[in-house]
């Protein structure tokens, strides 16, 4: 029941809440600041999976959990990354643009990458991944709700302004329920593998935050752009990771074990990013002094 009904509908609503905060100008911004967008997109869509693969090979978790880590790394940032970027004093517009573009592109990229990772990490035990069916399912629960949210903001801005805060709070509550459900459904596996899975996910988060800031500086982007890029690369859509795991596992009930890394990450990412935000805000305060 969780995977078949509640999880897809919850993710669709979360993506709808993201769309409510977007306008066509957010997508047009790609052309206005192409360098910042290119650095952010490359860090998130190319470097993040490469780092995740390196950590999977280093820590060597069980194959199903290794695939779950890779699924998480293929996912775009979510609404959370936009909120955290605002708290850190980063370039919110860039963060929103990266989230929107990556969310739409993920409909195409994630199915192919998941199919490749499943075979590479699980071999003959890998679940059969129907790339076309997974792409259509992702379109239905990610791209279509985002597009609906954008359309409502364009056609009924007053309603969108009133409903967006309510939708954002509801999306946060759904996110918490989904993460809790993923952990509860695999509690024994979680406890058994936490000594490996915990450090792996924390290190993935730390490395991506650091690389995001470093590459932005290397490309001479502003501090705010660097913070946005770091948080987009370091904060992934854990809900989508859980949903994709469920779609490819085709479990009749419950949440599959490969969803566990996304569930754990939904907690550990706050343990890492909140100190990062405090560091970023201290830097802003020192610059103003």
Angle in degrees, CA 248, 183, 77, rounded to 5: 65
pLDDT at 30: 66
Nearest-5° angle of CA 114, CA 117, CA 120?
A: 150
- Please write the tens of the pLDDT for every residue from 149-163: 888 988 888 888 888
Tokens of residue 22, six digits: 């977007």
Q: What is the CATH number of domain 2-278?
A: 1.20.1530.20
What's the Rg (C-alpha) of the chain? 18
Whole-number Cα distances in Å, 113 to 73, 74, 117, 218, 236: 10, 7, 6, 28, 16
Which residues of the chain, if any, have pLDDT below 70? 1-5, 26-27, 29-31, 182, 185-186, 250-255, 283-289
Instruction: State residue 109's pLDDT score.
Output: 93
The pLDDT value recorded for residue 156 is 87
What pLDDT shows up at residue 56?
Answer: 96
Burial of 285 (0-12, 13-18, 19+ CB in 10 A): exposed
The tokens describing 286, both together, are 């020192």
| Structure confidence at residue 254 (pLDDT) | 56
Residue among 165, 169, 181 at smallest CA distance from 238:
181
pLDDT of amino acid 207? 96
User: 6: which residues sit within 8 A by CB, 6+ positions away?
Assistant: none
**Residue 135, both tokens:** 């792409």
How confident is the model at residue 39, as a pLDDT?
94
Which tens digits make up the pLDDT trace of 88-108? Answer: 888 888 888 888 888 888 999
Whole-number pLDDT of residue 194: 79
Domain boundaries, the chain: 2-278
Cα 174 to Cα 209: distance, rounded to the nearest angstrom:
26
Q: List alpha helices for the chain, DSSP H.
A: 7-20, 24-32, 34-42, 48-59, 63-74, 79-88, 92-122, 131-138, 144-155, 157-185, 187-218, 223-234, 238-249, 260-288
Structural contact between residues 228 and 209, judged by C-beta atoms closer than 8 angstroms: no
> What pLDDT is stored for residue 50 in this prediction?
96
pLDDT in tens, 171-211: 778 777 777 776 776 677 777 777 888 899 999 999 999 99
């Amino acid at each position: 029941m969780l995977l078949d009904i509640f999880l897809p509908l919850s993710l669709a609503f979360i993506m709808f809440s993201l769309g409510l905060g977007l306008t066509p100008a957010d997508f047009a911004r790609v052309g206005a600041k192409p360098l910042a967008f290119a650095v952010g997109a490359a860090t998130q869509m190319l470097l993040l999976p490469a780092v995740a693969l390196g950590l999977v090979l280093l820590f060597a978790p069980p194959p199903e959990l290794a695939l779950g880590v890779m699924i998480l790394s293929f996912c775009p940032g979510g609404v959370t990354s936009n909120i955290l970027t605002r708290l850190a004093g980063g370039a919110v517009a860039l963060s929103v643009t990266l989230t929107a573009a990556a969310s739409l592109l993920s409909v195409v990229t994630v199915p192919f990458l998941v199919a490749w990772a499943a075979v590479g990490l699980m071999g003959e035990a890998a679940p059969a991944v129907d790339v076309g069916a997974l792409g259509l399912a992702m379109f239905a629960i990610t791209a279509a709700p985002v597009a609906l949210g954008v359309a409502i903001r364009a056609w009924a801005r007053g309603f969108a302004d009133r409903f967006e805060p309510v939708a954002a709070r509801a999306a946060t509550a759904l996110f918490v329920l989904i993460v809790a459900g993923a952990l509860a459904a695999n509690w024994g596996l979680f406890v058994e593998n936490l000594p490996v899975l915990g450090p792996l996910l924390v290190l993935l988060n730390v490395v991506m935050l650091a690389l995001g800031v470093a590459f932005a500086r290397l490309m001479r982007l502003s501090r705010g752009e660097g913070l946005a890029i770091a948080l987009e690369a370091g904060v992934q859509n854990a809900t989508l990771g859980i949903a994709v795991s469920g779609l490819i596992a085709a479990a009749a009930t419950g949440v599959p074990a490969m969803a566990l890394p996304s569930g754990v990450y939904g907690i550990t990412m706050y343990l890492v990013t909140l100190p990062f935000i405090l560091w970023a805000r201290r830097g802003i305060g020192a610059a103003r002094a």
